Amino acid sequence: MKALILVGGFGTRLRPLTLSVPKPLVDFANKPMILHQIEALKAIGVTEVVLAINYQPEVMLNFLKEYEKKLEIKITCSQETEPLGTAGPLALARDKLIDDAGTPFFVLNSDVISEYPLKQMIEFHKGHGGEASIMVTKVDEPSKYGVVLMEETSGKVERFVEKPKIFVGNKINAGIYLLNPSVLDRIELRPTSIEKEVFPKIAAEKKLFAMVLPGFWMDIGQPKDYVTGLRLYLDSLRKMSSPKLATGPHIVGNVLVDESAVIGEGCLIGPDVAIGPGCIIDSGVRLSRCTVMRGVRIKKHACISSSIIGWHSTVGRWARVENMTILGEDVHVGDEVYSNGGVVLPHKEIKSSILKPEIVM
């Protein structure tokens, strides 16, 4: 089987992290976002992953070469010269996606994190005999999304309602699809939307089916959702009794700590924290609801909550970093400095407090 991951553009919503690496390579729960998907695809027997990309393909491919060997899966790029939306990239990668046997292929949005029940999806797809399967997930605020109206029993999709003003349903497109190669005949090589142009036509012919995603789902393409996504992901590890979760007297709730990280005396860490490789957390530090990426140093008695600390940054003694502060790569926060929602671009030194959410160039 093959799969296409829609990587797309510049990742502007996750700046300043995406100023250092393309968005799919930003770490989430101690590994690049896209690796969560590639590993899940490999686990169900996908042999080739095509990345649909219009930005920095060299960086992506060089980075993924080591994983190609490690995971024994072929990873290639299909590069757009102009943004082609969510369906155009399928037409562009057509020759890479079809084989002689007419095997269905997966399409995933690169920002989506979930438990990826891809094996069940294959069974579901075979079972209904339609042309395309999409995953849907239930959300509390459907008005922000496109809502999928479907028959409860068969999963047959009736129609889509874009950002409904009144309540029509709470199931939205989860960005994970399994498509027969015949779907490619419906897509022209031009900027076009799979959600708005392609799927409604298949639904009108009663050949589109939706499966309700079990477990959690999050689009982690922006900081607030990234932090929420980490909570849901760690929660799901807890439900599976994963040995990856840290334990000890200084750990509260669900915490992921890379084995190469060093944690000092008297710290309190958690809930919902990820500490990356090579991090040094000095004594008396308090961390909650945050991600601390590779090579970060947090000095004594600093307190960090609801924030993302980018690679190789340092946070000074008694500093307080909170309220969706995002430090880009190699940012240095001085001793006793307070950051209330500061978004700091890479390679900066912060010597005075950031009292209200703002971007620091």
- Return the amino acid letter for 127: G
Measured distance CA(135)–CA(210) in Å, rounded: 6
- The first and second tokens of residue 229, run together, are 């996504």
Predicted TM-score (pTM) of the model is 0.89
Residues linked to residue 360 through DSSP beta bridges, in sequence order? 344
Residues linked to residue 350 through DSSP beta bridges, in sequence order? 333
CB atoms within 10 A of CB 348: 19
Instruction: Give the pLDDT of the chain (361 residues) as one tens digit per residue.
Output: 999 998 876 667 788 988 888 888 899 999 999 899 999 999 999 999 998 887 767 777 888 788 888 888 998 888 888 888 888 888 888 888 888 888 999 999 888 999 999 999 999 999 998 999 999 999 888 877 778 998 888 899 988 887 778 888 889 889 899 999 999 999 988 888 888 889 989 999 999 999 999 889 988 888 899 999 999 999 999 998 889 999 999 999 999 999 999 999 999 998 999 999 999 999 999 999 999 999 999 999 999 999 999 999 999 999 999 999 999 999 999 999 999 999 999 999 999 999 998 988 8
Q: Among 231, 272, 279, 236, which residue's Cα sits nearest to residue 258? A: 279
